[in-house]
Amino acid sequence: MNTRRRISLVIPFYNEELNVDNTLAAIARVVDPQRYDWELVAINDGSRDATLAKLQAASPSNFELIVVDLSRNFGKEAALSAGLSQASGDAIIPLDADLQDPPEMIAAMLEKWEQGFEVVLARRADRSSDGFLKRQSAAGFYRVMNRLSEVKIPDNVGDFRLMDRCVVEVVSSLPENRRFMKGLFAWAGFRTTSIDYARPEREFGETKFSGWKLWNLAVEGITSFSIAPLKIWTYIGVFVALMSFGYGSFIILRTAIQGVDVPGYASLLTVVLFMSGLQLIGLGVIGEYLGRVYLESKRRPPFVIRSVQQRGGKAAE
Ligand code: UDP
Ligand code: MG
């Protein structure tokens, strides 16, 4: 009988030709075929460089390589979802392709898993490789996010974590097509622990997440997990209405006592501009949510797989 357990590593690759060989070699160094069966699910997220060719040329000996080729670039969240859908392990670990999630941590994660934890988070205890601005904006995001959302997203934790099969089943079964994975993982819950690591610099190539992309990811995260930005307009409205009522009463009284005074252009214009600005912001927030409802209602799949190829490892049937 076969009671050996299988571990899946899931790595999205987008224009990472410089990292493919290195990353596969680093994985080969940490997998331990004595204890577990290993598979690496590599997702090619519509790379325009030689990433796919390099992945297909690789022939690892101590793990099975499953190359999932997406039909175009769907973004990291979708690529990760695609990888999870193809992973068959009893424990599943998503990693970045640039070795910023050190594979050396995997052994420690597995140990925690063997102790009975269903989720083992790898926490970036040291983010000095990330730059001041990125660290500050990340800290700000988690503060706002965790204030607004009922689902608490652990801070300084990326997608690098070990998840038991049962957690991945839950996340994969969620029907939504706009997938903020960190949020979905946190939403799923389960017995969770964490281990700390220092996040190293990117090995080769450059980051795919510019300031604008990160901002959009942050908006995605907040709108996916909280409707507080929608609800706040009721309170802002009530507050402004009360203020105007007070000020209106004051002006009526003053006019009744002192008579009409015509000047007041500047204050009038200020109030009009302020109020229209406020209304536009409110509309914008509604628009953010409405847009998401619209996109979600189309029920398009989050990713399209062109092909799945398997190679290497002992487990080939
Ligand atoms: N990635 C992807 N699709 C994208 C952008 C990024 O699959 O559209 C992958 C990328 O190849 C890498 C991971 O997501 O494996 C993290 O990207 P990156 O290292 O650029 O992010 P950072 O570490 O700077 O946050
Ligand atoms: Mg990176």
Distance (Å, whole) CA 257 – CA 67: 82
The reply to whether ligand 1 has any atom less than 6 angstroms from the CB of 182 is no
The reply to whether ligand 1 has any atom less than 6 angstroms from the CB of 199 is no
**What is the atom index within ligand 1 of the atom nearest the CA of 95?**
15
Provide block-wise average pLDDT over 10 residues at a time, the chain (317 residues).
Answer: 84 92 91 90 94 89 92 93 94 92 92 94 81 83 87 86 94 88 89 87 80 86 88 88 87 86 79 87 91 90 91 57
Distance (Å, whole) CA 71 – CA 121: 31
Contact 122, 157 (CB under 8 A): yes
Query: Can you give the pLDDT at residue 315?
Result: 47
Percent of the chain scoring above 70 in pLDDT: 98
* Closest residue to atom 14 of ligand 1, CA basis: 76
Contact 187, 205 (CB under 8 A): no
Q: Give the environment of ion ligand 2: residues with CB less than 5 A.
A: 96, 98, 100, 202
Rounded to whole angstroms, what are the CA distances from 202 to 95, 216, 221, 314?
13, 22, 24, 31
For residue 136, the CA-to-ligand 2 centroid distance in Å is 17
* Closest residue to atom 22 of ligand 1, CA basis: 207
**What is the atom index within ligand 1 of the atom nearest the CA of 79?**
7
- Class of residue 7 by CB neighbours under 10 A (exposed 0-12, middle 13-18, buried 19+): buried
Distance (Å, whole) CA 44 – CA 304: 11
Tokens 């995001």 belong to residue: 141
State the Cα torsion 201-205-206-208 to the nearest 10°.
-110
Query: Can you give the pLDDT at residue 314?
Result: 54
Query: Can you give the pLDDT at residue 171?
Result: 92
What 3-state DSSP class applies to 44?
strand
Q: Which residues contact 159 (CB under 8 A, 6 or more apart)?
A: 80, 94, 96, 101, 181, 182, 185
Residue 220, token pair as written in the block: 């995605």
DSSP E strands in 188-299: the ranges are: 192-198
Distance (Å, whole) CA 63 – CA 37: 7
Among 178, 198, 151, CA closest to 296:
178
For residue 204, the CA-to-ligand 2 centroid distance in Å is 9
The reply to whether ligand 1 has any atom less than 6 angstroms from the CB of 13 is yes
The reply to whether ligand 1 has any atom less than 6 angstroms from the CB of 12 is yes
This prediction's pTM: 0.80
Edge-first strand listing for the sheet containing 192-198? 192-198, 119-126, 157-164, 91-94, 6-13, 37-44, 64-70, 305-311
Query: Can you give the pLDDT at residue 2?
Result: 63
Query: Can you give the pLDDT at residue 306?
Result: 93
Query: Can you give the pLDDT at residue 305?
Result: 94
Q: Which residues contact 234 (CB under 8 A, 6 or more apart)?
A: none
For residue 235, the CA-to-ligand 2 centroid distance in Å is 40
Distance (Å, whole) CA 185 – CA 122: 13
Query: Can you give the pLDDT at residue 204?
Result: 80
- Pairs from 184-190 (Cβ < 8 Å, separation ≥ 24): 185/119, 185/159, 185/161, 186/151, 186/152, 186/153, 186/154, 187/151, 187/225, 190/118, 190/119, 190/163, 190/164, 190/166
Contact 74, 303 (CB under 8 A): yes
Distance of CA 232 to the CA centre of its chain: 25
Contact 59, 47 (CB under 8 A): no
Query: Can you give the pLDDT at residue 316?
Result: 42
Distance (Å, whole) CA 94 – CA 70: 17
The string over 163-189, giving b where at least 16 C-beta atoms fall within 10 Å of a residue's C-beta and e elsewhere, is bbbebbebbeeeeebebbbbbbbbbbe
Please state the φ and ψ torsions of residue 91, each to the nearest 5 degrees: -130, 145
Rounded to whole angstroms, what are the CA distances from 218 to 138, 141, 180, 182, 268?
9, 7, 9, 11, 37
Tokens 């075929």 belong to residue: 33
